[in-house]
Amino acid sequence: MIKSIILAAGKGTRMKSDMPKVLHSIFDKPLIGYVLDSVCKTGSISENFVIVGHQAELVEKYIHENYKQSTCIKQEPQLGTGHAVSMVIPYLKDYTGNVIILCGDTPLITSDTLKKFLQFHEEKKSDITVMSAVFDNPQNYGRIVRNADDTVNSIVEEKDADEIQKTIKEINAGIYCINWSKVQSAFSDLKNNNAQGEYYLTDIIKWGNEQHLCVNAYTLTDNNEIYGINSRANLAEAAKLLNKRSLDKLMASGVTIVDPASTWISPETEIDTDTIIYPSCYINGKNKIGRHCKIGPFAHLRGDVILEDYVKIGNFVEVKKTTIKSHTNACHLTYLGDSEIGTNVNIGAGTITANYNPLTKVKSKTIIKDNVKIGSNSVLVAPVTIEEGANVGAVGVITKSIPAWALAITRAPLRIIENWVTRNK
User: What local confidence, expressed as pLDDT, does residue 195 receive?
Assistant: 74
Q: What is the mean pLDDT of residues 229-250?
A: 97
Please determine, for residue 411, whether its predicted confidence score (pLDDT) is greater than 90.
Answer: no
| 121 contact partners, CB below 8 Å, separation of at least 6 | 98, 129, 177, 216, 218
Half-sphere exposure of 51 (CA within 13 A, CB side): 29
Question: Which of 106-120, 188-202, 279-293 is predicted least confidently?
Answer: 188-202
Q: What is the mean pLDDT of residues 385-400?
A: 97
Query: Domain limits of the chain?
Result: 2-226, 232-408
Q: Percent of the chain beyond pLDDT 90?
A: 93
On whether the CB atoms of residues 268 and 285 are closer than 8 A, the answer is: yes
User: What local confidence, expressed as pLDDT, does residue 412 receive?
Assistant: 85
Half-sphere exposure of 249 (CA within 13 A, CB side): 14
Class of domain 2-226: alpha beta
Under the banding of pLDDT at 50, 70 and 90, the label for residue 157 is confident
- Neighbouring CB atoms inside 10 A of 346's CB total 17
Please determine, for residue 40, whether its predicted confidence score (pLDDT) is greater than 80.
Answer: yes
Radius of gyration over every alpha carbon of the chain, rounded to an integer in angstroms: 28
User: What local confidence, expressed as pLDDT, does residue 320 receive?
Assistant: 98
44-53: per-residue pLDDT in tens? 999 999 999 9
Please determine, for residue 391, whether its predicted confidence score (pLDDT) is greater than 80.
Answer: yes
Q: What is the mean pLDDT of residues 343-364?
A: 95
User: Among this protein's residues, is 64 annotated catalytic?
Assistant: no
Residue 354 CA to residue 350 CA, distance in Å, equals 12
Please determine, for residue 128, whether its predicted confidence score (pLDDT) is greater than 80.
Answer: yes
Q: Percent of the chain beyond pLDDT 70?
A: 100
Q: What is the mean pLDDT of residues 276-289?
A: 98
Three-state SS for 158?
Answer: helix
∠ CA 277-278-282, nearest 5°, is: 75
Please determine, for residue 392, whether its predicted confidence score (pLDDT) is greater than 90.
Answer: yes
Q: Assign domain 232-408 one CATH number from 3.30.950.10, 2.102.10.10, 3.40.50.1860, 2.160.10.10.
A: 2.160.10.10
User: What local confidence, expressed as pLDDT, does residue 297 receive?
Assistant: 98
Residue 272 CA to residue 291 CA, distance in Å, equals 5
319-340: per-residue pLDDT in tens? 999 999 999 999 999 999 999 9
Q: What is the mean pLDDT of residues 400-425?
A: 93
- Neighbouring CB atoms inside 10 A of 337's CB total 21
Residue 114 CA to residue 224 CA, distance in Å, equals 14
Please determine, for residue 277, whether its predicted confidence score (pLDDT) is greater than 90.
Answer: yes
Q: What is the mean pLDDT of residues 19-42?
A: 97
Please determine, for residue 266, whether its predicted confidence score (pLDDT) is greater than 80.
Answer: yes
User: What local confidence, expressed as pLDDT, does residue 323 receive?
Assistant: 98
Residue 260 phi, psi dihedral angles, 5° rounding: -55, -30
| 5 contact partners, CB below 8 Å, separation of at least 6 | 48, 49, 51, 84, 85, 88, 99, 100, 101, 102
On whether the CB atoms of residues 398 and 353 are closer than 8 A, the answer is: no
More confident residue, 35 or 193: 35
Please determine, for residue 119, whether its predicted confidence score (pLDDT) is greater than 90.
Answer: yes
Question: Which of 223-227, 263-267, 421-425 is predicted least confidently?
Answer: 421-425
158-177: per-residue pLDDT in tens? 888 899 999 999 999 999 99
